[in-house]
Amino acid sequence: MLGISVPRPLLTAVLLTATTAIAACGSAATSSTSAGDQATVAPAAIAPQTTAAATATVSAASTTEVAPAPTAAPTSAPHPSMVATARPTAAPTPRPAPPPTARPTMAPTPAPAPASVVTTGPAGGQTVLVASSNHLTLYTYNADVAGSGTSNCNSGCISEWPPLTVPAGTMPTAGPGVTGHLGTIHRSDGRTQVTYNGKPLYFFGGDSAPGQTNGHYTGWSVATP
């Protein structure tokens, strides 16, 4: 290093100047610091006012009612997907009527032949009319008029000559060998008496077995076909 000799008075002046400069710098720095502090305090004073204003704004916002957004009115026309599509109704297919079932024709059951009331049988060596019920000989009364519709054997007469009768409404039928016409008359006692060719037929009380002709008296005749 180079050695420089500085006079003491000059060195003293330089040091004084440097000291003064340092002091001046320190004062400037102190002033700057004070100004900075004041600048920092100012926002702190302003902050409470800003907070109060913000609080008032929030309160005003909270007390203000917000009108609800209007709801859109539904349109009257339904959505196409909701409209029911009318399906055509299929016409019923007519079914053919089944053919009529042929019912078997039942053959009519033949009615049993009614029992004959008068038939024929042998008596006294000849063929005579007899009652089918007991085969006793039948007689006619000569006093009776054929086709008159009345009997002249009444009261005590019928006790010996009982009439051949059938139920009311019954038409007498003829058995084998009977060639004449059978009919009926209504007697005065209410019974229905059988006639042959229009004349009433009678039994005789004295006959008790087939083939007898004990009633062949005057005025009475054995009835023959």
The per-residue pLDDT for range 29-58, each reduced to its tens digit, is 444 444 444 433 343 333 444 444 434 343
CA distances from 188 to 97, 138, 161, 191 (A): 66, 21, 16, 7
Cα dihedral 207/212/217/219 (nearest 10): 90
pLDDT for the residue 4? 54
DSSP H stretches of helix in 64-137: none
pLDDT score, position 78: 54
Domain ranges of the chain: 9-58, 116-225
pLDDT of residue 82: 57
- Pairwise pLDDT comparison (3 vs 158), residue with the higher score: 158
pLDDT score at 141: 97
Considering only 51-60, 95-104, 157-166, which range has the smallest mean pLDDT?
51-60
Residue 33: what pLDDT? 43
CB within 8 A of 31, min separation 6: which ones? none
For residue 76, what are the CA distances in angstroms to 72, 73, 80?
12, 9, 12
How far is Cα 121 from Cα 175, in angstroms, rounded to an integer?
10
What is the per-residue pLDDT for 162? 97
Amino acid 124: pLDDT: 87
> In terms of pLDDT, which residue wins out, 212 or 114?
212
So what's the pLDDT on residue 2?
Answer: 47
The pLDDT of residue 174 is: 96
Which residue's entry shows tokens 């026309």? Answer: 77
Band (pLDDT 50/70/90 cuts) for residue 94 is confident
**What is the widest separation between alpha-carbon atoms in the chain?**
231
Q: How many residues does the chain have?
A: 225
pLDDT tens, position by position, 161-199: 999 999 999 999 999 999 999 999 999 999 999 999 999
Instruction: Give 81's pLDDT tier (boundaries 50, 70, 90).
Output: low
- The pLDDT of residue 95: 78
Q: What is the mean pLDDT of residues 13-35?
A: 56
Tokens at residue 45, please?
Answer: 């004073």
Q: Extract the tokens encoding 151.
A: 């009997």
Question: Under the phi-then-psi rule, with left for phi > 0, alpha for psi from -120 to 50, and beta for the rest, what region is 182?
Answer: beta
